[in-house]
């Protein structure tokens, strides 16, 4: 009996239903784990950058005396300088000395020429002679007129005296009836007339004398003015022969024959040898405590010379203040004007203060951040430090550090963004 064969039919297998709550728990657990990992990673400090020890300047905070001083650079300058300038314009004819030559006060440095100046001098002399001649003529004329008036006064006085005598005689004769009343009145009127004429002529003489004095004084003033002008023109001519005027050494005389100079132009400088001073420039932030009389030292490259502050410039130029230092002793050999020098001015000596080497950007009365070395000496952390008074290479520490702390005082501006560094 044949058995019929049928293809095998697929059979559905029942699966257990998924629990949605377990899935939500698993997701929440994953999120919590991610948050925990993120928080842990955020607590991990970034690796500190490494800095070579040889590139660092490290100093130790200490307590003790501190010398406050400021430092500056400058040059040697003459204490006395005579500037020789042209009084008038002219052409250089001859140059007798050059820079570096020693000259006396009467030495002729150079000679100038200017025909216009010579013509003006001759014209001034002519005007003076004319004014003097006019004064003489005026004085002669006025004196002659005054003498004539004096003679006229003398004549009138004589006539007035004669008229008075005749009037007296007529009065005596009238008492004896020897003259008529008409003759007596005529004699009296004649005497009165000559008295009035005498008064008028005397007043005219006084007025003429006053006029003579005032006119002569006025013309004499004109003569003096012409004489002053002539003297000035003579001085201009003489000034074209240029002299040194003082004993010293010639500097900055580089004119050539044929060159034209104008009035007021500097021709040369005469400096007194051996009398030099140091002019140093100190940053304006450090110069506020510099006063006249403070001790100073100047390094001329050939030796160190002591001195004192002689002058402090009241104005600041280019962020610096000029300070003049006068020397107490002789300068080393080779010292000459314009020689570059370095100067240090001593401000004060502090007996017992906490101080450290001055950092690259350390300023007086300022708060800065420095890297302080840890006890292991292999790492340094940033700390805030308050500074007080400062010197050239030291500065007072007010707070933020303790004696014995070691800090980095070299320029660390490239590590401003990190709180600590490693030193290798």
Which residues, at least 6 apart from 151, have a Cβ–Cβ distance to it below 8 Å? none
394 forms bridges with which residues in the sheet? Answer: 357
**Distance from C-alpha of 303 to C-alpha of 300, rounded to nearest angstrom:** 6
pLDDT at 134 over 70: yes
pLDDT at 5 over 70: no
Specify the range with the lowest mean pLDDT, choosing from 107-121, 199-213, 315-329. Answer: 199-213
Right CATH for 80-114+241-271 from 2.40.50.100, 3.90.79.10, 1.10.3720.10, 3.20.20.70: 2.40.50.100
Contact 92, 258 (CB under 8 A): yes
pLDDT at 319 over 50: yes
pLDDT of residue 60: 92
Helix (H, G, I), strand (E, B) or coil at 2: coil
- Average of per-residue pLDDT across 108-128: 92
Strands 304-312, 295-299: pairing is: antiparallel
pLDDT of residue 272: 78
- Average of per-residue pLDDT across 328-357: 87
**Distance from C-alpha of 379 to C-alpha of 422, rounded to nearest angstrom:** 4
pLDDT band (50, 70, 90) for residue 298:
very high
Higher-pLDDT residue of 345, 158 = 345
- Average of per-residue pLDDT across 304-319: 91
Contact 250, 103 (CB under 8 A): yes
Percentage above 70 pLDDT, the chain:
91
Higher-pLDDT residue of 59, 169 = 59
- Average of per-residue pLDDT across 317-332: 89
Q: Average per-residue pLDDT in the chain?
A: 83
Percentage above 90 pLDDT, the chain:
29
pLDDT of residue 2: 43
Sign of CA dihedral 165, 167, 168, 173: positive
Higher-pLDDT residue of 149, 38 = 149
Contact 124, 226 (CB under 8 A): yes
pLDDT of residue 322: 93
Q: What is the CA radius of gyration of the chain?
A: 54
Q: In residues, how long is the chain?
A: 424
Report the range out of 2-11, 148-157, 224-233, 324-333 with the highest average pLDDT: 224-233
**Distance from C-alpha of 401 to C-alpha of 398, rounded to nearest angstrom:** 8
What fold, for 53-77+275-423?
Answer: Elongation Factor Tu (Ef-tu); domain 3 (2.40.30)
pLDDT at 30 over 60: yes
pLDDT digits (tens, 9 = 90+) for 49-95: 888 888 888 999 999 998 888 889 999 988 888 889 999 999 999 99
User: Where does residue 175 fall: left (phi above 0), alpha (psi -120 to 50 degrees), or beta otherwise?
Assistant: alpha
Residue 227 vs residues 135, 217, 239, 240: alpha-carbon distances, Å: 13, 15, 18, 20
- Average of per-residue pLDDT across 239-264: 89
pLDDT at 46 over 50: yes
pLDDT at 11 over 90: no
- Average of per-residue pLDDT across 193-203: 80
pLDDT digits (tens, 9 = 90+) for 263-287: 999 999 888 766 789 999 998 888 8
CA torsion, ordered 315, 285, 317, 410, to nearest 10 deg: 160
Contact 366, 387 (CB under 8 A): yes
- Average of per-residue pLDDT across 347-364: 85
């Amino acid at each position: 009996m044949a058995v019929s064969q049928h293809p095998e039919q697929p059979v559905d297998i029942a699966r257990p239903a998924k629990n949605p709550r377990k899935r939500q728990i698993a997701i929440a657990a994953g999120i919590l784990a991610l948050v925990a990992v993120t928080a842990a990673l955020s607590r991990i400090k970034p690796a500190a950058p490494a800095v070579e020890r040889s590139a660092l300047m490290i100093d130790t905070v200490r307590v003790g005396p501190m010398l406050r001083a400021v430092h500056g650079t400058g040059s040697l300058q003459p204490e006395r300088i005579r500037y020789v300038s042209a009084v008038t314009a002219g052409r250089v004819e001859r140059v007798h000395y050059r820079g570096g030559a020693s000259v006396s006060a009467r030495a002729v440095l150079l000679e100038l020429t200017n025909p216009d100046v010579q013509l003006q001098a001759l014209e001034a002399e002519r005007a003076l002679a004319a004014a003097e001649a006019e004064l003489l003529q005026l004085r002669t004329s006025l004196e002659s007129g005054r003498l004539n008036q004096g003679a006229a006064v003398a004549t009138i006085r004589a006539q007035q005296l004669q008229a008075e005598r005749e009037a007296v005689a007529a009065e005596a004769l009238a008492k004896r009836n020897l003259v008529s009343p008409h003759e007596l009145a005529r004699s009296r009127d004649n005497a009165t007339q000559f008295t009035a004429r005498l008064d008028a002529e005397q007043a005219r003489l006084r007025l003429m004398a006053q006029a003579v004095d005032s006119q002569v004084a006025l013309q004499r003033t004109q003569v003096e003015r012409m004489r002053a002008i002539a003297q000035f023109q003579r001085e201009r001519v003489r000034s074209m022969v240029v002299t040194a005027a003082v004993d010293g050494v010639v500097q900055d005389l580089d004119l050539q024959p044929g060159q034209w100079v104008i009035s007021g132009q500097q021709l040369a400088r005469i400096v007194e040898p051996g009398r030099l001073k140091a002019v140093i420039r100190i940053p304006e932030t450090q110069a506020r405590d510099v006063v006249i009389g403070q001790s100073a030292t100047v390094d001329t490259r050939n030796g160190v010379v002591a001195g004192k502050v002689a002058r402090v410039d009241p104005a600041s130029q280019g962020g610096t203040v000029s300070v003049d230092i006068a020397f107490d002793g002789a300068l080393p050999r080779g010292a000459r004007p314009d020689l570059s020098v370095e100067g240090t001015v001593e401000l004060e000596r502090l007996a017992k203060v906490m101080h450290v080497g001055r950092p690259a950007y350390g300023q007086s009365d300022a708060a800065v951040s420095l890297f302080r070395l840890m006890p292991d000496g292999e790492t340094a952390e940033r700390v805030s430090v308050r500074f007080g008074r400062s010197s050239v290479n030291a500065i007072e520490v007010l707070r933020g550090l303790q004696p014995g702390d070691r800090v980095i005082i070299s320029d660390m501006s490239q590590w401003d963004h990190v709180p600590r560094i490693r030193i290798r």
